[in-house]
Amino acid sequence: MNYTEHYNNLILKAKSRSLTGYCESHHIIPKCMGGSDDIQNLVLLTPEEHYVAHQLLVKMHPTNKSLVYAANMMTVGSDRVVRCNNRSYGWLKRRLSECLSESQSGTGNSQFGTKWMCKDGNNKKVKSVDINEYLDNGWTFRKSIRMCKMCNEHPIGKSMFCSLHKGKTRHKKEPIVKMTRAESVRIANIASTSDSSKANRKKTFKDIKHQQGESNSQFGTCWIHNSEKSVKINKNDLQSYIDSGWVKGRKMI
């Protein structure tokens, strides 16, 4: 089959008409082959024609990997266009697989020229040009075997524990002691304050009679309660509440 002829006929047909509705812009000469974004190098195709055009380009230039990648992206589709049911999808995916295999072989592979080395339980992937330097520093050609953190007997992979100890209690946790906000603030203040500054502050509070006597917001009040609630009252009114059946003190919940 003359793929070039089919491709040229498709482009000529597209140039001699005007499309209405959804269409896609196509580079007649692909950008990976030197094509530009000039209007002379662009043509409007239907989604189906655009898909076929990219497949023809792959057939015309079978060694160009960029064309394979571009054609494969045409199989993704969208909400409005479904292309993946085309029979040629199979050969295109197989061609993509071949291109990926070729690009990841030899020096194209990201792991090419590297080796795993270990020292003191540490593993590291080293480039071939640096291997001698690592050997001189005591590193060896292998990956150290990691052991279970709990029993230190069974080898493990990425996990910290072997299959026997996964999910089991690692250690007995100490009970959590809950504190009120006032207690946590008080402890923080104590921890951040030196003995001398605490003594000076205490002396200052004593001198100015901070929160002492009538300056205390609780001065002259007391708590009383009945069977339903607790209230704070002025001590001068205490006797009248006692006569009404109230009890001095705060009700314990």
pTM of the entire structure? 0.39
Q: Residue with structure tokens 């291109």?
A: 99
Sheet holding 247-248, edge to edge: 230-234, 221-225, 247-248
Per-domain residue ranges for the chain? Answer: 3-106, 114-156, 205-253
- The C-alpha atoms of residue 92 and residue 162 are separated, in whole angstroms, by 44
Classified as helix, coil or strand, 230 is strand
Tokens of 191: 């921890």
- The C-alpha atoms of residue 124 and residue 114 are separated, in whole angstroms, by 10
Going by the DSSP 8-state scheme, the letter that residue 228 receives in this structure is: S
Q: 28 and 35 in contact (C-beta within 8 Å)?
A: yes
pLDDT of the residue at 145: 64
Classified as helix, coil or strand, 53 is helix
- The C-alpha atoms of residue 56 and residue 33 are separated, in whole angstroms, by 15
Q: On the CB side of 65, how many CA atoms lie within 13 Å of its CA? A: 8
Q: 60 and 30 in contact (C-beta within 8 Å)?
A: no
Q: 162 and 151 in contact (C-beta within 8 Å)?
A: yes
pLDDT of the residue at 143: 62
Sequential DSSP letters for 172-190:
PPPPPPP--HHHHHHHHHH
What is the full per-residue pLDDT of the chain (253 aa) written as tens digits? 899 999 999 999 999 988 887 788 999 999 999 999 999 999 998 878 888 899 899 999 988 989 988 888 877 655 555 555 555 555 666 676 777 777 777 777 777 878 888 887 677 888 888 888 888 888 887 666 667 777 766 666 666 677 676 655 444 444 555 667 677 666 666 655 556 666 666 666 666 666 677 777 788 888 888 888 888 888 888 888 888 888 888 876 5
State how far Cα 11 lies from the chain centre.
46
- The C-alpha atoms of residue 209 and residue 203 are separated, in whole angstroms, by 10
- The C-alpha atoms of residue 237 and residue 135 are separated, in whole angstroms, by 90
Classified as helix, coil or strand, 44 is strand
pLDDT of the residue at 196: 62
Burial environment of residue 43 by CB neighbours within 10 A (0 to 12, 13 to 18, 19 or more): buried
